[in-house]
Amino acid sequence: MSLLQQKIKEIKLRAAPINYSTVAINERGELTDNDLDKRIIKGYLIVWGVKNDYGEKCIKGCCSKSIRERGPQSNAKYKITFLWQHKQDDPLALFAKLEEDDYGLYFETLPLDDVPNADRALKQVRSKTLNQFSVGFDYLWDKMEWDESDESIVMKELDLFEGSIVTIAANRETYALRSKENLELLHDDTQDFITSLPRSKQLEARQIFARHKELIVREMDMTNDYSNPNIAFIDKMIPHHQMAIDMINEFKAKVNNEPLIGIMSNISISQASEIKQMNSIKTTITARHKTLLNIEPLEQSNIALDNEKPDEKGGVNYNYLTENFSF
């Protein structure tokens, strides 16, 4: 498996049917009080070449197909719309302009509709209470490339659904699925179902599924808890180890230098052993998380679990658990 394929697999496991990326309002000083007086909002929804926390970046041209098919000048019944806080049932306006320039995805709205949240948006943009633009999009797996220069995934094309004004950056982590492998198949099945719906219903369906995914993750273990530096290191290191093994497998039938063959053998054995060790450590950390997460309150159970010291009242000593289960 190539490094790009490994990264795409990781994205699939955390991706929701709709994903979000943000840019600061007035990124380059485009928006003026005169625009706001006319009820017009403009700026950039995407900036090219900026790598996000997941190592992804957009390039010029990635939105051109979506704009052509559903942009302001298209004949589509359901056009890309400017929303309030990513809410499909709370549109503020259509776009008057949506185009890719050398800096990013530039937009201008038509005058905002006479609806309550449009008035609120104008006031709070002026006061700078609202300070983020955001896009809702979906990944296109076959339109990605690996950029070795900065170790990033280049998104050459994406499926753009909407642009929004938001209070806080709509982090994709909100809908992240730190999941088991079969969720990759669930993602594909969900995609097939959503794309079978009429276009006018697809965005709403994506948002509903995204909310369900967000609820699911709260019931799962913390297998890929990126707030835990131990887990974060393991999940970032294993693909690099696997890449070394894959490279050796690619060249082992071609290399004929005996000392180099020996080095390759040692690398392959050591990397495989370390992958096994790291997975074992990760399993141990996850089990400790689950032990803490599954503790029942005293009023729900009067029976202490094995290896737990009872407190003075005969219940579970939570301080003891916290002190003895480090992660």
Length of the chain: 327
In a domain? residue 104:
yes
Q: How confident is the model at residue 35 (pLDDT cuts 50, 70, 90)?
A: confident
Do 125 and 249 sit in the same domain of this protein? Answer: no
Do 246 and 296 sit in the same domain of this protein? Answer: yes
Do 99 and 28 sit in the same domain of this protein? Answer: yes
In a domain? residue 185:
yes
Do 163 and 24 sit in the same domain of this protein? Answer: yes
Range of the domain at 154: 3-219
Question: CB under 8 Å to 226, separation ≥6 — which residues?
Answer: 173, 178, 232, 235
The lowest-confidence range among 58-67, 193-202, 225-234 is 225-234
Burial class (CB in 10 A: 0-12, 13-18, 19+), 256: exposed
Angle formed at CA 213 by CA 210 and CA 217, multiple of 5 degrees: 145
Whole-angstrom distance, CA of residue 11 vs CA of residue 177: 9
Q: What is the pLDDT of residue 174?
A: 28
Do 192 and 100 sit in the same domain of this protein? Answer: yes
Do 211 and 257 sit in the same domain of this protein? Answer: no
14 neighbors 76 (Cβ within 8 angstroms): no
Q: Of 291 and 233, which is predicted with more confidence?
A: 233
314-327 tens-digit pLDDT: 443 434 333 443 33
Number of domains in the chain: 2
47-79 tens-digit pLDDT: 898 887 678 899 999 999 999 999 999 999 889
In a domain? residue 20:
yes
Q: How high does pLDDT run on average in the chain? A: 76
The lowest-confidence range among 32-41, 268-277, 291-300 is 291-300
Is residue 308 predicted with pLDDT exceeding 50?
no
In a domain? residue 248:
yes
159 neighbors 138 (Cβ within 8 angstroms): yes
Q: 133 phi and psi, to 5 degrees?
A: -105, 150
- For the four alpha carbons of 272, 274, 277 and 283, in that order, the dihedral sign comes to negative
Q: Of 240 and 19, which is predicted with more confidence?
A: 240
88-125 tens-digit pLDDT: 889 999 999 999 999 999 999 999 999 999 999 999 98
Write down which residue in 219, 247, 269 finishes a domain: 219
Q: How confident is the model at residue 161 (pLDDT cuts 50, 70, 90)?
A: very high
Q: Which two tokens stand for residue 203?
A: 């965005």
The pTM (predicted TM-score) of the whole model is 0.53
In a domain? residue 224:
no
Average pLDDT over residues 305-311: 41
242-286 tens-digit pLDDT: 888 888 888 888 999 999 999 999 998 999 899 989 988 888 877
Do 53 and 154 sit in the same domain of this protein? Answer: yes
The lowest-confidence range among 127-131, 258-262, 299-303 is 299-303
Whole-angstrom distance, CA of residue 240 vs CA of residue 102: 34
Q: What is the pLDDT of residue 110?
A: 96
Do 210 and 279 sit in the same domain of this protein? Answer: no
275 neighbors 246 (Cβ within 8 angstroms): no
Question: CB under 8 Å to 312, separation ≥6 — which residues?
Answer: none
Q: Is 57 helix (H, G, I), strand (E, B) or coil?
A: strand
Q: What is the pLDDT of residue 168?
A: 62
Q: Of 249 and 29, which is predicted with more confidence?
A: 249
